[in-house]
Amino acid sequence: MQSWVPFVPESASTISGRVDALYFYLSGVTVFFTLLISGVIIFFVVRYRRRSTFEIPRPITGSHRLETLWSIIPFLISMSFFVWGTQVYFAQYRMPKDGIEISVVAKQWMWKFQHSTGQREINELHVPVGRKVKLIMATEDVIHDLFIPAFRIKADVVPGRYTAQWFEATKPGRYHLFCAEYCGMNHSGMGGWVVVMEPAEFENWLAGNANQQSASSAGQQLYQSMGCASCHGPNAEGGRGPALQGVFNSQTLLNNGQLVKADENYVRESITNPQAKIVSGFGPIMPSFQGQVTEEQLLQLTSYVKSLGTNQTDTSGARPAVTPAATPRK
């Protein structure tokens, strides 16, 4: 079903109405002033045209009242853009605490999704209606950008780190997803569909695809097969590295005295570049696993660390676990 306004995609998420309202306001203000200014220009051109060859215009001394007025009104209008835009931005890019987590790996030229229960999909993403869905995104190669117009969400997927975005679909249906960052030859073909289903139907779909290993258990297997546990087991068995139990989302003290939050990006960096942040009391002995594990495996390892328990004592702010990618409009 198309919107009644031409070129506007269907509106199917909790945020899309707010994005549209702001967008229509911006368009409305723009149209209003375009018409007003063009009208006034035409009126003045006709009204104050030179009527005789030697006519000299009346001198103008200026008007403080008029100048104050046309400074304050545009100021207030610009501030309304800023305040309203900021509110919508934060509503859209601040990650909710609860919700389903889905990992996304972009590569030239496909989107790979994995549900926390293990189901994998390519270029298709099944989600239930009325639930918050968090996308934790990584890329195997270059920058991509996941864009779902009907949900009005869009964020870059950047090499070397995780980015995130979320949505809550409001009606069942099939919605286009796109790559919105030029990423090479088949960029234009790097798209697919989000399939929004009724909760019961979604449960059926999950159950029908349940023969896959969950992300965290795949991560655990990898963790064992790569010998990670010989240095730091979940409860610090091995003794050469910090314990992993309860680490996720906790405040971690580093050997330089700095406190950092052990979020997804911290876990990822600790695997690919262990020297970057060393936990207080431990030596810089861990080798880098950069290039030895794929982005998909990194996400599985991260979800294993998550499954070892999160430390939710720090609920001070609605800070996102992952820094959302600010996406400049392209």
Give the interface size with ligand CUA as a residue count (CB under 6 A): 9
Instruction: Return the residue of 19, 183, 262, 305 that touches ligand CUA, per CB under 6 A.
Output: 183
Upper half-sphere CA count for residue 154 (Cβ side, 13 Å): 15
Q: How many CB atoms lie within 10 A of CB 271?
A: 21
Query: CB–CB of 113/125 below 8 Å?
Result: yes
How many Cβ atoms sit within 10 Å of the Cβ of residue 319? 14
Shortest CB 168 distance to ligand CUA, Å = 25
One symbol per residue from 142 to 171: x for binding ligand CUA (CB under 6 A), - otherwise; what is it? --x---------------------------
- Whether 166 and 32 have beta carbons less than 8 Å apart is answered as no
Distance CA 46, CA 40 (A): 10
Q: Please select the residue that binds ligand CUA; options are 153, 179, 286, 298, rule is CB under 6 A.
A: 179
Task: For ligand CUA, give the closer residue by CB, 143 or 236.
Answer: 143
* Residue 8 Cβ vs ligand CUA, minimum distance, rounded to whole Å: 23
176 part of the interface to ligand CUA, by CB under 6 A: no
Would residue 163 be called left, alpha or beta, if left means φ above 0 and alpha means ψ between -120 and 50 degrees? beta
Question: Nearest distance from residue 130's CB to ligand CUA, in Å?
Answer: 29
Joined together, the tokens standing for residue 329 give 């409009």
Sole residue written with tokens 């409860």:
235
Minimum separation from the CB atom of position 184 to ligand CUA (A): 7
Which residues ranging from 108 to 127 are in contact with ligand CUA (CB under 6 A)? 109
Site for ligand CUA in 189-228 (CB under 6 A): 190
Evaluate the omega torsion of the peptide bond into residue 109 and state whether it is cis, within 30 degrees of 0: yes
Provide the binding-site residues for ligand CUA, judged by CB under 6 A. Answer: 106, 109, 144, 179, 181-183, 187, 190
